[in-house]
């Protein structure tokens, strides 16, 4: 595919998360925010001013018809991803698609085929894989800092709803409706990050998963999926992982962003790595700590603001288009993480261990409502 000289991006969806998604486009020498689009015209015009965009639209199809735009960042509810991504690719745009990319593997394959037919790049953006403490931890693992990695343990602590970002109810509502989210706001929406982190640090593919997901219903079509405990086994080896979600909604979580935080422990045959924060700053600890041979080493100065993962992720997309290469994540990687996410939900619904190869193209991540 032909490299581009400069990335002229159109932002489709100007909600809260767009303020982080845009950072890397604003400070990269080979990119600019050419246009913004949102159904809320007042919001779109505010973002146009904030980001110095040249054009503003309220209909994404008008943005896709703009010949000055060669790439789009799609920041829409999950159920809209497939249709808008395919239209964007057919309009000749490179596409950055938010996670989870689609509701089913079949939908994701349709988007992939559209990218192949249009000869345009498709990337599924998962910002946790660009978060500097995560990147440094994987680098250390690959260098043998903990020996052969044996397990990954992830813990998500949700805090008081009145801490952190003021997220409009319109943004909360679609995430709490399985029809538009594809699952629940925690175990499917946020969960994609954590399933991907389960794959990020160990090279073996995930083979089997078992999940407990407790679902609270707050009204017709309004669900919150937490607490939860999800465990998995890697293929061919006695290696395991787990992700625990604690709905500690009375706890204060220091965060400029969502009122929650994630911690990760990667245990190896010779040592342990702890990544002590991500979305927030739950504890006053170094972002990254290594234990090996009876000694502890800490990285105090590694960038640990969650926003940095968005900035660096946008840079990777821009650099990939300029260099004519595939940005992370490609179709295969995104499909593997989506399959993992769906399998966890099938496990919780059917109350059994599920093999990932059981997940068919049309299987959806339904919530275990009882």
Whether the predicted pLDDT of 53 surpasses 90: yes
Confidence of residue 2 (pLDDT cuts 50, 70, 90): confident
Q: What is the pLDDT of residue 223?
A: 87
Q: Give a three-class secondary structure readout of the chain.
A: CCCCCCEEEEEECCCCCHHHHCHHHHCCCCEEEEEEECCCHHHHHHHHHHHCCCEEECCHHHHHCCCCCCEEEECCCHHHHHHHHHHHHHCCCEEEEECCCCCCHHHHHHHHHHHHHHCCCEEEECHHHHCHHHHHHHHHHHCCCCCCEEEEEEEEEECCCCCCCCCCHHHHHHHCCHHHHCCCHHHHHHHHHHHHHHHHCCCCCEEEEEEEEEEEEEECCEEEEEEEEEEEEECCCCCEEEEEEEECCCCCCCCCCCCEEEEEEEEECCEEEEECCCCCCCCCCCCEEEEECCEEEEECCCCCCCHHHHHHHHHHHHHHHHHCCCCCCCHHHHHHHHHHHHHHHHHHHHCCCEEHHHCCCCCCCCCCCC
Contact, 114 vs 86, CB < 8 A?
A: yes
Confidence of residue 353 (pLDDT cuts 50, 70, 90): very high
Question: Model pTM?
Answer: 0.97
Whether the predicted pLDDT of 137 surpasses 90: yes
CA angle 280, 136, 151 (to 5 degrees): 85
Mean pLDDT computed over 162-178: 84
**Which residue in 360, 308, 284 sits closest to 133, CA to CA?**
308
Confidence of residue 347 (pLDDT cuts 50, 70, 90): very high
Whether the predicted pLDDT of 163 surpasses 90: no
For the chain, give the mean pLDDT. 96
Contact, 79 vs 182, CB < 8 A?
A: yes
Q: What is the pLDDT of residue 158?
A: 86
pLDDT in tens, 111-123: 999 999 999 999 9
Q: What is the pLDDT of residue 161?
A: 79
Whether the predicted pLDDT of 131 surpasses 70: yes
Q: Mark residue 52 as left, alpha or beta (left: phi above 0; alpha: psi -120 to 50; beta: remaining).
A: left
Mean pLDDT computed over 231-247: 96
Q: Where are the domains of the chain?
A: 7-126, 129-309+338-355
* 105-118 vs 331-350: helix crossing angle, rounded to 10: 170
**Which residue in 131, 130, 157, 133 sits closest to 290, CA to CA?**
133
Mean pLDDT computed over 301-312: 97
Residue 291 has φ and ψ, to the nearest 5°, of: -115, 130
- Measure CA 277 to chain center: 16
Confidence of residue 323 (pLDDT cuts 50, 70, 90): very high
Mean pLDDT computed over 279-296: 95
Q: What is the pLDDT of residue 49?
A: 98
| 115: number of Cβ within 10 Å | 24
Q: What is the pLDDT of residue 221?
A: 79
Whether the predicted pLDDT of 172 surpasses 90: no
Q: What is the pLDDT of residue 370?
A: 63
Confidence of residue 108 (pLDDT cuts 50, 70, 90): very high
Whether the predicted pLDDT of 168 surpasses 90: no
Q: Quick one: fold of 7-126?
A: Rossmann fold (3.40.50)
Q: Given this structure, which CATH class describes domain 129-309+338-355?
A: alpha beta
> What is the rounded distance in angstroms from the CA atom of residue 152 to the CA atom of residue 222?
31
């Amino acid at each position: 595919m032909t490299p581009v000289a400069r990335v002229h991006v159109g932002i489709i969806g100007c909600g809260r998360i767009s303020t982080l998604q845009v950072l890397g486009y604003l400070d990269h020498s080979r990119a600019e925010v050419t246009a913004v689009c949102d159904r809320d015209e007042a919001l779109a015009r505010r973002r146009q001013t904030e980001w110095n965009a040249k054009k503003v639209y309220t209909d994404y199809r008008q943005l896709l018809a703009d010949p000055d735009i060669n790439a789009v960042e799609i920041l829409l509810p999950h159920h809209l991803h497939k249709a808008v991504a395919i239209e964007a690719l057919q309009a000749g745009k490179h596409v950055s698609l938010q996670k989870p990319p689609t509701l089913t593997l079949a939908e994701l394959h349709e988007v992939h085929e559209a990218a192949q037919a249009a000869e345009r790049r498709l990337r599924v953006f998962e910002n946790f894989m660009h978060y500097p403490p995560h990147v440094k931890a994987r680098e250390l693992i690959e260098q043998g800092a903990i020996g052969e990695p044996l397990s990954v343990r992830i813990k998500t602590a949700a805090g008081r709803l009145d801490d952190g970002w003021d997220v409009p109810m319109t943004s909360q509502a679609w995430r709490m409706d399985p029809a538009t989210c594809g699952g629940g706001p925690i175990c499917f929406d946020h969960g994609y990050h954590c399933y991907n982190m389960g794959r990020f640090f160990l090279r073996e593919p995930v083979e089997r998963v078992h999940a407990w997901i407790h679902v609270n219903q707050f009204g017709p079509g309004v669900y919150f999926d937490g607490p939860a405990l999800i465990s998995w086994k890697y293929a061919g080896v006695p290696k395991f992982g787990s992700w625990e979600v604690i709905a500690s909604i009375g706890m204060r979580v220091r965060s400029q962003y969502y009122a929650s935080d994630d911690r990760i422990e990667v245990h190896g045959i010779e040592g342990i790595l702890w990544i002590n924060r991500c979305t927030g700053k739950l504890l006053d600890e170094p972002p990254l700590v290594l234990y090996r041979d009876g000694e502890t080493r800490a990285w105090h100065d590694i960038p640990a603001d969650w926003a940095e993962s968005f900035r660096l992720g946008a840079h990777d997309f821009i650099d990939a288009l300029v260099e004519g290469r595939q940005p992370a994540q490609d179709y295969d990687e995104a499909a593997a993480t989506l399959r993992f996410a769906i399998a966890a939900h099938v496990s919780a619904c059917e109350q059994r261990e599920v093999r990932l190869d059981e997940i068919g193209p049309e299987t959806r991540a339904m919530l275990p409502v009882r």
